[in-house]
Every structure is written in structure tokens, then in C-alpha cells.
Structure 1
Amino acid sequence: MIIEPDAPGRIAGYGPVAVIDIGSNSVRLVVYERMARSPTPLFNEKVLAGLGEGVATSRRLSDASVDKALSALKRFAALCRQIGVVELSVLATAATREAENGSKFIAKVRDICGCDVTVLTGPAEAYYAALGVVDGFEIPEGVAGDLGGGSLELTNVRGSRIGDGETFPLGGLRLKDDSGGDLKAAKKIARAALENSKVLPHLEGRTFYAIGGTWRSIAKLHMRQTGYPLHVMHGYTLETDRSRDFLKSLYRQPVASIDSIDAVSKQRQPLLAYGGLVLSELVRAGKPARIVISALGLREGFLYSRLPAEEQDKNALIAAARELCFLRSRSPAHSEELIAWTGDAMKALGIDETKEEERLRAASCLLADIGWRAHPDYRGEQSLNIIAHAGFVGVDHPGRAYLGLSVYYRHSGLSDDELGPGLREIVPTRYKERARALAAIFRVAYLVSASMPGVVPRTTLRRTDNELKLVLPPDLIELAGGRLETRLKQLAALVGLESRIVTDG
């Protein structure tokens, strides 16, 4: 009998869909697999065309930057045809809306791309960038700031509520032009502009969500200098009290002399100082508790705005984990069954969970079997690497560590002997303890079910006095054996209990 697979390499849906973002510094194409709560990029390419360079003084897009941008757009349009994009959206920002010849440029873009071009106002830029933060973080609480080549947008964000946005001419290229390349003058311009902000007074003690290529480069540099073990940009956090000197170092010395500057691309280096001083002045004025990097911004916010309400309401992390489960697990249905079963098991063990820990446990259940095709000796290591570095959003770095460790321990055993020091540096002890407990539950469940659906819901982990019992129905009692007894004993030992396999017949 030939069994047809039910998990293709790509997930069907409305797509591929693409967004071209024509910014003041870069022109970027991102093609996404489909319209979804957690969209997966199929293709991503940018060209630093520098459209905004000189616009502040000349009021025109230079011929050289226009030629470079149009050349990139011709390639992007061809790529969209080649990939089979069903819908292309083209967004243009500060440089094109401010330049006198911007409308002429937009007409050429329209001809090349074969679709309308949306020239965003400053408030619209701020709104979609903030919506990208709503899309990418679990209940965000703070201010979203999007720094481009021409402008800075600031917007207050509380959960899914977005306040009125404001825009400032503080993008790297614009600030360089306005200051004549003098960093001291640039700092004065930034400070004067931000003193008029109506959003920053609401930032004190909260989170600043930093969006934009220059700020991502700054975070990458900080990662390199501090030896941070998880090289994932989204959710990377800089505590402001510890980062002030670092930010000042970006504009108080020549770029070439900055420690580990090779971590930043040569194309990005010229604007690093301007991005650093704007962020430094923003921290001074707004007094946030922390700076968190967002890999999602304008493009993702725009796509999120077009999702149906029921899709927007989905949890981004769970949606992404469910997709990976569908693509890589032996039985997605079995993974779904584990969510309720492991929750009951945690209660039986007397291990309390916060709402966030319940959410992380659910995601872990969906990811627990994605490494089954790997060699048995390396399933834990490979699963940990995939999960820790996956393109997930809606989860912070300690949460990533929880997810990765729970699956690592499931395959490699409950010991840390072969675990490198990296993730242990960023995972809280509480998360680590719960990841180990969840892994021990997995190790029992998968021996009972052999990864097949319809089995674990018929079994129960039950605690009585000082004993943890695995209760099997009569027709499954033959699954009991030495290996399962050992796994159950390991699980019970985590909370100081004895163990036994029994039947309810």
C-alpha cells in the first residue's frame, strides 16, 4: 500500500505574497510563503540605493540613486514573476514623498512593478511599524521606534492598542545631511527634535522596540562585543543602564576603531554613528528600562493589517510551532494531544505554571518531534539548534531557550553533561527546571505512544500520596516494561516521588 504524505515542504494558502519597501536608504523585496499569522519569508533581498541622500538640501532624488533603485526594482519584479507571486504591494517612504521629483520616480516604479505604489505619510509609517511590533511580540508594552534613512517614527503600543504616531527627520542619511556630517551638530539636532516628542514621555520604565537596519547593526555589534551566545536578532535585549557607554562609543570615536566593527557590513558602517546618537538621545529623553530589537516592522505590519480578525487573534508563536510540527513531525495530531496531557501531568507533579509557561509548554509539545529523522545520537543537538535559531516571533530569548532545552532533554536525557554553556547563560533557573520536567514527561509519553495519535489521551499520570502512577487501560497494559518503568521512575524522582505502572481495569 502506498501512503501519500500529508505534510508538503511548503504550506498551501493564499500566496506567495510580496512586499517591496522603497526606503530612504534601502530598497528591499521580501516574498512570503503565504498570508498567515506568522509569515515565512521565501526570499529576501535588499539594495542600499541611498535614495534619501542629499534630499534634505537639494529636495531631489539624485540620478545615481534613482538608477540604482530602478535597476534593483527591475530585478525584484522579475523575481516576483519567477516565484509566482500572486499579490505584490509596493510601499514608499520618506525620501520619495519629500523629493520634488518623487512622483516622477514613483511613475517609473509603477511601470516596472505593474501595480500601484503606496506612498506612506509619516503617521502611516509609524502605524504600520508599530503594527509590526504587535505582530512580533507577545503583548508588547512600550514605544515602537522605526529608524530609516530619512525619518524616525515613534508610536506608543499597549498590547494591540496603537497610539498616534509621530515622525521626525532623524533618519541616518537625513541627519548626516542636516548636520553637514558633524556628529556634534547631529546630536544637537536630535536632542532638540526629541524634546518635542509627545510619545517619549510615555516611555519611562517601559520597553523601547527598535526597528530598522541601522539599529539591527548596532545590536549585532553589541552581540559580538559581549559574546552573546544566541545569534538571533528578534527579541535581543539591551538593558539601558548597561548600554549607555556602548551607545556613546559609537559616535565618540572613529568607526574604524570601534571594537569588533567587522560585525557590521561596510555599507552600514557610515550611518552607525548617527543611529547610535539618535538611540542614545532617545534613551536620555524617554528613560526606557530596556531596548528590544524587532526584526518585524513596516512590511510585516502592513501584511498583518490585511489579515482577517480571526487570523490576527492567533498566537504567533503557537502558529509558527504548529506549522513546523506539520512539516516535520511524525504525527501532528499526536503533538496536539500532548498539550492537554502534559498540562495534566504538570498538575499531577505539583509543578505550577504561569500563563506564559503554559504557552511555552504548548509550543514545546508541537516541536517535540521535529528531529525524528536525524541520527538518534544527534536528535537533541539538532532539534535544539533548529528551535533556538528558528524564525519564530512572539517569544523572547529565554523563551527560546526553554523551547530548545525541553526538546533537547527529551532526546539526550535529563543531564547537562553534553550541553554547551551558551543557552545556560540566558535561561532562568525556573525555565530550566520546567523544561527538564516537561522533557521527562515527553520521555514517558513517547514510549507509551510510539508517536502515534489516539494513545496518550487514554492514559493518565496520577499522584497519590508519595507515588506517581502511570495508569494504562487494560488493552495497553502490555506496553509496560523495564524501559518505560525506568522513564517513569526518572520523572517521579524529579519531585521526590516513587512510581508505578497500573491499569484501571
Structure 2
Amino acid sequence: MSWHKGFRTEPPKYRPVSVVDIGSNSVRLVVYDGLRRSPSPIFNEKILCGLGRGVATRGKLAEEGMTRALAALRRFRALSRQIGAKHIFAVATAAAREASNGAQFIARAEKALGCGIRVLTGKEEARYAALGVIAGIPGADGIAGDLGGGSLELIDIKDGKLREGVTLPLGPLRLMDLSGGSIEKARSIIDEAFAKAGILKLLKGRTFYAVGGTWRNLAKLHMAQSNYPLHVLHCYRLTRQQAMSLSGLVAHLSPSSLREIREVSKSRSDTMPYGALVLERLLHHAQASAVEISVYGVREGLLYSRLPPRKRNSDALLSSCWDFARRYARSPDHELELCDWTDQVFGEGKLPESEEQRRLRYAACLLADIGWRAHPDYRAERSLSMISQAAFVGIDHPGRVFLALTVFYRYDGQGEESDSLTRLLGDEDHQRAHLLSSLFRLAYILSAAMPGMLPKIGLKLGENKTLVLSLPKKLADLSGERVEKRLAALAAEIGRSGRVVIGGRA
């Protein structure tokens, strides 16, 4: 049975769903294109209300913050209605659950938003954040840390399951209140909390998955410093030393200095030193191997938790690539046939391939025709930018570049833009991208991107180091100079010679 049996080939329908996150620092609306395995944001708005400012010292939500938050929620209700979202999932976190007037604020907020609002406990917040990490990085193995304005949630993840978790009172707004604006006093507060956090011992030799806007801004700054060629935050990795060095530096910068840095959001200039300090001290207390950014967090974890098990267990990357094929390819059915057709030369007894390489091959097949509507001179560049910049999850940066370059080469692309990305690929993966592109180029001149043809055409590794293309007699006219030329180019990629046989596979 084919791995893609049951795939629906009609374009995916938009069934917008809204998620409202009432945090200690910001109130945010994200409208996604549906309750799906890899939801894409179609609208995203954040209002910095500072609800949690002063809660640690006064114990109450400030009137100004509540007024701004309620206005934002009324706007979010109107926007959700305008976009057509039939469901609004709303949650509130640390500030609302800890403030003495939190319950009264939530009652007013529910009236403004027009739906119920779930006030998450610390454990629930940690759980949803970790589910978000699992949704976006299925192979995650380490500790997920979600830094909000009022708290830090830490939870252990392994083999797709959630383990020990803890909530610590270390959000930047809380630290600013408790320390009176002193970074040195904040350091003592952080160190005291981390010294008692046994979960950090579980981080030794593993990855710390960083969730939250403050840490995303740190990653953006590091990307700029290192002239990184791919501006995608999800799955961006820093070594422990890189993360400690950068966060230690930012922790001692003034808000005015941070406002001068283009890569840093000006709205976070006050809180960012404290968030950076939390990361620096966490890495000081724990022996993590690396820090990896997850753009998925509580909101995505909430949606992920509502999926049926079958959808939760589906492949996030292949789900996204299939959506791309259904929207942009001439024939989605053809791309599924291309997956099966390329199976003829990969696997046991054929060209060697790992499970991850096979997965990426299938993803490349699904994306192979997304540039066809562009002018022929721009198909390569369009495909390169679409794939390298797509909101894919379930794939690391080298894998993303591999997919982008494979389709880029399929359109015979070349240029400086692709050259800068190749530094993220090893030689073996780069050669494999060229190999798959040659395979695709052969397939498309045989099938003209239409379904029903590839299943009739054979391709196999023959004797005496040959690569044999088999055409049934009814399709003999498909053979010709261009087919032989592309078969020869493909065969040369694997050190073989091409041979066309008429009267083979039917």
C-alpha cells in the first residue's frame, strides 16, 4: 500500500480558526488557515499591554494594562468575524492566574471577546508549549522552555512524549519588578530559582528548545552577526557557547542601546536584557549541547492537542508539502506518482537511502512543480525562494536547503543566491540534490507533468552499470533525443550509462 493512500487531491479549503493568547506582556491574535497538522498563520497581531507589570509587587493587574487588553480583545473579536473564523480558542497565562483581580478581568475579557477564556495553570502552560515544540520539531529530545512576561515553563520531551515539567517565576516583567530594575539583583533571583530546579540536570548533553519572542529576537541578532544565509527562525540552532556569549552580552545592554539594533524589536528593548539573562544563567546551570529556536509554542500546542490522533501522528513536513502541491502544482496526482516512480531506484538493493533521506525525497517530489506558473527564466529563483522561505515545520535548516536546491536545480537554476545556501549543506547532500533534480528532469519530459504516464514507465539499475528506462510499445514515440540526453545525464550522476528499452513496463 502506498504511503500516500487516501490523500485528497483537491486544493485545501480555508477553515479559519482564531487563537487568542492573553499573556503577561502581550495580548495576541493569530488566525490560522484551519485546524490541520501544519496550520499556516493568515493573520497575526500583537498588542503590548503589560498586564503583568507590577503583579509581582502589587499583586494586581494595572488598570491601564486591562483597558488596553480589553480594547485589543474587542478588536480581535471583530477581526475574527471579518476573517470568517468560526471558533476562537482563548487562553490566559501567568498574570491573569496570579493577580488578585485576575478573575474579574477575565470576566470582562470574555464579554469583550465574546467567548470563554481558559486560564491555564503553570503545568498546563508548560504542557501546551511542549506540545507546540513536538508539533513543530517532531524529533525533539531535550527541555522545552517557554519564556513569557511573568513565568518560565520548563518541560522534558523525549520520543514525542512529555515528562517532568515545572513553572518558575522568571518572566522578564516579574524580574523587572522584583529586582527594581537591577540586572545584578535579577541575576541573584534567577540563580536562586535555577539552583532548586532539578529538571535542569536532565538537560545535560541535550538540546534546549527556546520558545518565546525574547529568545527569537536573540536568534535574529545572532543570524545578523554571523551573516546567516537563511532568515528562518524555526529550528535555528546555536551552540551552547554561542548562546551563552550572545545572551551574556545582551543582558548588559541598555534599552536605549537595544533600540538602535535593527534586528531587535523596539517593543522588547526594556524586557530583552532580562530574558537574555534568564537564558545565560540557565545555560550556566545546565550542560545543554545546543539551543534551538521553536516558533511553535502554546498557541500551536493548543491546536495540536485538538487534532485527532491520526492527524497528530502524520508527518508535519509532508503535510505542508502536500498542501503546496495541491495549491500550486499542475497535477497533485502526478507528484504522488513521482514519489512512487522514484522508489524504483532507491532503497534496499538499489541506491542507498536512509529513512530521513526517503522522507526528504518524497517532500521534494511534492514540491517539484510549484514554480511552473512563473516565467521560464524565473522558475528556478521562484521555487528557491518559495521553499527556503516557506512556513514549513518538521525540518531542520539543512533539510530545507536541500529541498529548495533540488527544485532549483530541477529548473536548471544557478546563481549567487543559491551559492550562499550551499554552505548549509554537506557535499553528500549537495550531490544528492543534483541527483534528484536530474531524476525529476527526466520524469517531466516523459510525463509532461500529467498523471497516468509515470506508472507505465520503468526505471531500474541494470547490469553492467547501466540505468535502464523501459517504455511499453504504445509509448515508444516518447523516446527521442531529449529523453536519451537526460537519461544519460542522470546515469552519469551515479556512475552508470543510460539505456532505453522498448517493450518493457506497461
TM-score if structure 1 supplies the norm length? 0.95
The one-letter code sitting in structure 2 at the alignment partner of 1:453 is P
Matching residue of 1:328: 328
**Count of aligned pairs:** 495
> How many angstroms apart in 2 are the aligned matches of 1:215 and 1:442?
40
> How many angstroms apart in 1 are the aligned matches of 2:401 and 2:322?
18
> How many angstroms apart in 2 are the aligned matches of 1:373 and 1:349?
38
Matched residue of 2:97: which SS?
helix
**For the Cα contact (< 8 Å) 1:145–1:153, is it kept in 2?**
yes
Matching residue of 1:3: none
How many Å apart are 1:139 and its aligned residue?
1.4
The one-letter code sitting in structure 1 at the alignment partner of 2:238 is L
How many Å apart are 1:242 and its aligned residue?
2.9
How many Å apart are 1:269 and its aligned residue?
1.3
The one-letter code sitting in structure 1 at the alignment partner of 2:283 is V
The one-letter code sitting in structure 1 at the alignment partner of 2:443 is A
How many Å apart are 1:346 and its aligned residue?
3.3
The one-letter code sitting in structure 1 at the alignment partner of 2:315 is N
> How many angstroms apart in 2 are the aligned matches of 1:176 and 1:422?
41
Distance 1:458 1:70, change over 3 A: same
> How many angstroms apart in 2 are the aligned matches of 1:374 and 1:73?
41
Matching residue of 1:97: 97
> How many angstroms apart in 2 are the aligned matches of 1:411 and 1:194?
52
**Residues 163-209 of structure 1, C-alpha deviation per residue, up to 9 Å, x if partnerless?**
13210010110111111111011111111101111321111111111
> How many angstroms apart in 2 are the aligned matches of 1:131 and 1:195?
26
**For the Cα contact (< 8 Å) 1:461–1:468, is it kept in 2?**
yes
Matching residue of 2:380: 380
**For the Cα contact (< 8 Å) 1:371–1:382, is it kept in 2?**
yes
The one-letter code sitting in structure 2 at the alignment partner of 1:236 is Y
Q: Using the TM superposition, name which of 387-396 and 430-439 deviates more.
A: 430-439
The one-letter code sitting in structure 2 at the alignment partner of 1:450 is A
**For the Cα contact (< 8 Å) 2:133–2:140, is it kept in 1?**
yes
Distance 1:20 1:111, change over 3 A: same
Matching residue of 1:341: 341
How does 1:252-291 map onto structure 2 within 5 Å?
252-257=252-257, 261-291=261-291
Matched residue of 1:421: which SS?
helix
Matching residue of 1:438: 436
1:448 to 446, 449, 470: 446
TM-score if structure 2 supplies the norm length? 0.95
> How many angstroms apart in 1 are the aligned matches of 2:499 and 2:10?
37
How does 1:413-492 map onto structure 2 within 5 Å?
416=414, 420-463=418-461, 464-492=463-491
> How many angstroms apart in 2 are the aligned matches of 1:22 and 1:225?
33
Matched residue of 1:104: which SS?
helix
How does 1:241-260 map onto structure 2 within 5 Å?
241-257=241-257
**For the Cα contact (< 8 Å) 1:348–1:461, is it kept in 2?**
no
How many Å apart are 1:381 and its aligned residue?
0.9
> How many angstroms apart in 1 are the aligned matches of 2:400 and 2:101?
47
**Residues 337-368 of structure 1, C-alpha deviation per residue, up to 9 Å, x if partnerless?**
11122122235995322111111111111000
**Residues 82-122 of structure 1, C-alpha deviation per residue, up to 9 Å, x if partnerless?**
11211111100000111111111101111111211100000
> How many angstroms apart in 2 are the aligned matches of 1:79 and 1:47?
14
> How many angstroms apart in 1 are the aligned matches of 2:271 and 2:31?
27
Instruction: List gaps (5 residues or longer) in structure 2.
Output: 1-8
Matching residue of 1:107: 107
Matched residue of 1:422: which SS?
helix
> How many angstroms apart in 2 are the aligned matches of 1:21 and 1:223?
28
Structure 1 moving runs of 4+ over 6 Å: none
How many Å apart are 1:474 and its aligned residue?
0.9
Matched residue of 1:46: which SS?
strand
**For the Cα contact (< 8 Å) 1:146–1:297, is it kept in 2?**
yes
Instruction: List gaps (5 residues or longer) in structure 1.
Output: 1-5
Distance 1:157 1:93, change over 3 A: same
Matched residue of 1:216: which SS?
helix
Q: Using the TM superposition, name which of 428-437 and 379-388 deviates more.
A: 428-437
> How many angstroms apart in 1 are the aligned matches of 2:84 and 2:497?
59
Matching residue of 1:12: 13
Matched residue of 1:164: which SS?
strand
> How many angstroms apart in 2 are the aligned matches of 1:259 and 1:90?
31
- Alpha-carbon RMSD across the aligned residues, in angstroms, is 1.6
Matched residue of 2:500: which SS?
strand
Q: Using the TM superposition, name which of 484-493 and 423-432 deviates more.
A: 423-432
Matched residue of 2:501: which SS?
strand
Distance 1:167 1:348, change over 3 A: closer
**For the Cα contact (< 8 Å) 1:123–1:164, is it kept in 2?**
no
> How many angstroms apart in 1 are the aligned matches of 2:361 and 2:122?
40
**For the Cα contact (< 8 Å) 1:348–1:462, is it kept in 2?**
no
How many Å apart are 1:77 and its aligned residue?
0.6
Matching residue of 1:206: 206
Matched residue of 1:263: which SS?
coil
> How many angstroms apart in 1 are the aligned matches of 2:420 and 2:193?
41
How many Å apart are 1:258 and its aligned residue?
6.0
Matching residue of 1:498: 497
